[in-house]
């Protein structure tokens, strides 16, 4: 096995695949990257048995072969190399790396000890705008459960050409808040419903971000089977297992109408909430929102027996009835930071019912927070 490539291309490829290299103590080989070299080029691959990534590396091949080396060691080392040609050659049980005036050897493990990477038949394929898809993933994954007591809540629901929208609906809830995003599909029409693990969503975001910074590619290709999802973008491809189970019927908690609606500037409200958060009881994180129709304000206040109390107001558009609601400030801020808008609609029924945040004048994204009951 022997090939030559640029430091830039190698570093970029390693950044893409190294994030999935596992931390399985019982299977230390999952800490490694599999390097496959054939007549058509070089492929780098990693897996943690739940997810797998692979990327095609542009290189000049001299000899074919395959080998595995520790992902972190190789990635960290390549980042420190000068911006020159890198020559990699397999010599017995280690790879020899030559770049500029340096020569290095990294020990590894034969490729035949690496888990077989599954091939996924491309079915139920869809084409989406990469930037919009990446941003949308971030908008919904924030609401996933942080534990796996209920496995389905530790994932994001994907409903393709199903339910209430002829496109892709993504949703997540941890039972305290709910995020839903609707996306248009540029290609594909098969109806399917799956649950994608939150870990996979975060890795998709990372991979698209890294690849898009270097590539001019604008479209991602997504396809699904009964138990796996695959994503292809530019030179990389990732696959992941799905969560087995049925996602709860979250739509039933979305109110059809509201008694009070306000529109506030997101930057000002974010600042008010962060200030109020300094005076909340740890673990409760309660901030009160008082919607004053007559005054055209939202009062933001908090109190803590330990730190004191705080109150402030923000001038807004308010319609409907006087209302107030107590919310977890962390949940509210999580939603606001993903709004991608200057103004947010805030809709409330009562202090005992879920409230809704959404970008002003747009209905493709909504974020619902359950109240803290007093």
Q: Does domain 125-250 have CATH number 3.40.190.10?
A: no
Q: What is the pLDDT of residue 183?
A: 93
Cβ atoms of 131 and 216 within 8 Å: the answer is: no
Cβ atoms of 189 and 174 within 8 Å: the answer is: no
Q: What is the pLDDT of residue 344?
A: 98
Count Cβ atoms below 10 Å from residue 319 Cβ, excluding itself.
13
Give the rounded distance of the alpha carbon of 69 from its chain centre.
Answer: 28
pLDDT band at 190 (very low <50, low <70, confident <90, very high): confident
Single pTM value for the model: 0.93
Q: What is the pLDDT of residue 123?
A: 74
Q: Which two tokens stand for residue 38?
A: 């054939």
- pLDDT tens, 259-270? 999 999 999 999
pLDDT band at 25 (very low <50, low <70, confident <90, very high): low
Cβ atoms of 356 and 368 within 8 Å: the answer is: yes
What is the mean pLDDT of the segment spanning 318-322? 97
* Residue with tokens 């009835």, as numbered in its chain: 321
Question: 2-113 maps to which CATH number?
Answer: 3.10.150.10
What is the mean pLDDT of the segment spanning 308-323? 96
pLDDT at residue 357 is higher than 70: yes
Q: What is the pLDDT of residue 191?
A: 84
The more confidently predicted of residues 14 and 213 is 14
Q: What is the pLDDT of residue 125?
A: 84
Q: What is the pLDDT of residue 214?
A: 80
Which residue in 41, 98, 88 sits closest to 67, CA to CA? 88
- pLDDT tens, 261-310? 999 999 999 999 999 999 998 888 999 999 999 999 999 999 998 899 99
For the chain, the average pLDDT equals 93
Count Cβ atoms below 10 Å from residue 120 Cβ, excluding itself.
16
Give the CA angle between residues 334, 338, 340 to the nearest 5°.
150
Task: Sheet with 323-328: list strands edge to edge.
Answer: 308-315, 297-304, 286-292, 323-328
What is the mean pLDDT of the segment spanning 231-245? 94
Q: CATH 3.10.150.10: which residues of the chain? A: 2-113, 125-250, 255-369
Tell which CATH classification among 3.20.20.450, 3.40.710.10, 3.10.150.10, 2.40.50.180 matches the domain 255-369. 3.10.150.10
pLDDT band at 186 (very low <50, low <70, confident <90, very high): confident
Rounded distance, CA 14 to CA 57, Å? Answer: 9
């Amino acid at each position: 096995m022997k090939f030559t490539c640029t430091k830039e291309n190698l570093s970029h490829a390693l950044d893409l695949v190294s994030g999935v290299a596992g931390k399985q103590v019982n299977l230390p080989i999952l800490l490694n990257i599999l390097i496959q070299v054939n007549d058509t080029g070089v492929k780098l691959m990693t897996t943690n048995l739940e997810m797998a990534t692979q990327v095609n590396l542009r290189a000049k091949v001299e000899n074919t072969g395959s080998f595995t080396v520790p992902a972190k060691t190789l990635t960290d080392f390549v980042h420190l190399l000068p911006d020159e040609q890198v020559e990699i050659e397999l010599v017995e049980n280690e790879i020899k790396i030559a770049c500029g005036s340096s020569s290095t050897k990294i020990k590894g493990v034969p490729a035949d000890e690496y888990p077989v990477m599954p091939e996924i038949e491309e079915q139920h394929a869809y084409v989406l705008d990469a930037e919009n898809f990446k941003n949308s993933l971030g908008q919904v994954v924030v609401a996933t459960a942080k534990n796996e007591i209920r496995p389905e809540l530790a994932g994001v629901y994907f409903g393709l050409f199903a339910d209430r929208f002829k496109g892709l609906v993504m949703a997540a809830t941890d039972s305290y808040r709910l995020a839903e995003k609707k996306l248009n599909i540029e290609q594909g029409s098969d109806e399917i419903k799956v649950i994608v693990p939150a870990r996979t969503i975060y890795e998709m975001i990372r991979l698209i971000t890294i690849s898009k910074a270097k590539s001019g590619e604008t479209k991602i290709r997504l396809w699904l089977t009964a138990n796996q999802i695959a994503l292809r973008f530019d030179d990389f491809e990732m696959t992941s297992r799905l969560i087995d189970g049925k996602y709860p019927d979250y739509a039933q908690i979305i109110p059809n109408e509201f008694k009070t609606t306000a529109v506030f500037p997101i930057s000002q409200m974010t600042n008010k909430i962060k200030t109020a958060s300094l005076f909340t009881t740890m673990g409760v994180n309660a901030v009160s929102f008082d919607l004053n129709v007559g005054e055209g304000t939202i009062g933001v206040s908090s109190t803590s027996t330990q730190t004191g109390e705080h109150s402030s107001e923000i001038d807004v558009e308010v319609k409907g009835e006087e209302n107030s609601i107590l919310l977890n400030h962390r949940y509210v801020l999580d939603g606001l930071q993903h709004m991608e808008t200057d103004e947010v609609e805030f809709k409330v029924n009562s202090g005992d019912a879920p409230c809704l945040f959404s970008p002003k004048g747009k209905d493709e994204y909504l974020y619902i927070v359950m109240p803290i009951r007093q």
